[in-house]
């Protein structure tokens, strides 16, 4: 039986943090811009030089650094609530990807899965090969089937994974009005990936919410620059096109995994195999630093939907404007387009 373990932190951009970040004794509510060498003070604490650099800087001497998040339902539920998600949805621990009896505590349907996984040698080879074969994703606008964020900051991999879960699929309808989530949703739609990354970089409410939740996990966060390495957050969601999508900010773009049949959700058995099921076993059990949480309804809460009509540049519910179906042959993308009709509408499992 394959069990998933809780892990405390993630690692995002492959960088030598030892040369970039100075350990600090207390965690600031805002993310830190760290550069250079710290200096000792009379009380023995460390003071670091701080600077603000533009997103377009070609040589970055300092960058915004977030405290790592734990992939823990308590942490992510708290952060989601701070950002503006209705209490009608919450995250649940996923204890196994193959033992159905260990999934009975999770209400169905499941709207999203958020993994934290080790960058094993097997997975790294797969990632590199696939990313080299793709053009960087540059789509935006109301017809984009998913919302994807490119990661440019250190340590915010968990928050980007959370945003991928909350701003895509049915979870959109549980976003409360006049909140950070609703603002990000409506502002990011017309922006390309670079502009979306800058939008997140400049959002102080997102930054403060992240930092305030960083110490809520079961383990104490490591000092800045001393985090565990080789761990990444990956989200799996259902797009507006009815397909399963893999979303990670460190890839060249989103990855469409396959078709979700009628009545299936992201926790269905064969859908799980298209997620991380194969990778969990690929290294022969050598690395068990896997963790997964699922986003689903909270049976103790009741709401009427939609809570808030999110403006995506077009009305999905206007009379005469149908929502995108499970199979839409009109949707094409140079790297993520569906297969030709002679394949029966099936995507090869990656």
327 has pLDDT over 70 = no
Q: What is the pLDDT of residues 225-282, one digit of tens each?
A: 444 457 889 999 999 999 999 999 989 999 998 889 888 999 998 888 777 766 655 5
Distance CA 330, CA 332 (A): 6
Sign of CA dihedral 158, 160, 166, 168: negative
DSSP-assigned letters across all residues of 123-167: HHHHHHHHHHTSPPP---STT-SS------SBS-HHHHHHHHHHS
pTM of the model: 0.72
DSSP-assigned letters across all residues of 228-289: -SSEEEEEEEE-TTSEEEEE-TTSSS-EEEEEPPTT--TTSHHHHIIIIIHHHHHTTTS---
Provide the 10 A C-beta neighbour count for residue 160. Answer: 27
Q: Is 308 designated active site?
A: no
CATH class of 68-302: alpha beta
Q: What is the pLDDT of residues 42-83, one digit of tens each?
A: 444 444 443 332 322 222 346 778 888 999 999 999 999 999
Which is the catalytic residue, given 154, 165, 188, 292? 154
Q: Is 154 designated active site?
A: yes
Which is the catalytic residue, given 164, 210, 232, 308? 232
């Amino acid at each position: 039986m394959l069990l998933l373990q809780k892990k405390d932190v993630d690692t995002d951009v492959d960088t030598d943090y030892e040369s970039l970040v100075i350990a600090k004794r207390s965690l600031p509510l805002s993310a830190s811009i760290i550069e250079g060498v710290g200096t000792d003070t009379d009380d023995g604490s460390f003071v670091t030089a701080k600077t603000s650099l533009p997103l377009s800087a070609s040589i970055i001497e300092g960058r915004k650094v977030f405290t790592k998040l734990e992939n823990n339902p308590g942490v992510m539920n708290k952060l989601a609530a701070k950002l503006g998600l209705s209490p009608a949805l919450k995250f649940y621990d996923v204890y196994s990807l193959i033992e159905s009896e260990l999934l009975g505590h999770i209400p169905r349907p499941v709207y999203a899965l958020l993994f934290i996984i080790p960058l094993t040698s097997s997975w790294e080879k797969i990632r590199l090969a696939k990313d080299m074969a793709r053009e960087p994703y540059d789509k935006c606008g109301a017809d984009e089937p998913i919302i994807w964020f490119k990661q440019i900051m250190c340590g915010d991999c968990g928050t980007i994974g959370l945003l991928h879960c909350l701003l895509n699929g049915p979870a959109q309808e549980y976003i409360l009005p006049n909140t950070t989530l609703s603002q990000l949703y409506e502002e990011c739609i017309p922006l390309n990936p670079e502009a979306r990354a800058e939008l997140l970089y400049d959002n102080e409410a997102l930054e403060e919410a992240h930092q305030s939740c960083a110490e809520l996990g079961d383990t104490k966060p490591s000092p800045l620059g001393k985090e565990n390495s080789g761990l990444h957050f990956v989200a799996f969601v259902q797009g507006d096109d009815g397909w399963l999508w893999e979303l990670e900010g460190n890839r060249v773009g989103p990855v469409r995994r396959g078709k979700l049949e009628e009545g299936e959700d992201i926790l269905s058995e064969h859908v799980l195999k298209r997620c991380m099921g194969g990778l969990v076993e690929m290294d022969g059990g050598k690395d068990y630093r896997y963790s997964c949480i699922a986003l689903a309804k909270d049976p103790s809460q009741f709401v009427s939907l939609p809570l808030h009509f999110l403006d995506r540049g077009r009305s999905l519910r206007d009379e005469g404007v149908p929502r995108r179906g499970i199979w839409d042959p009109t949707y094409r993308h140079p790297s993520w387009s569906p297969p030709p009709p002679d394949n029966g509408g099936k995507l090869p499992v990656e």
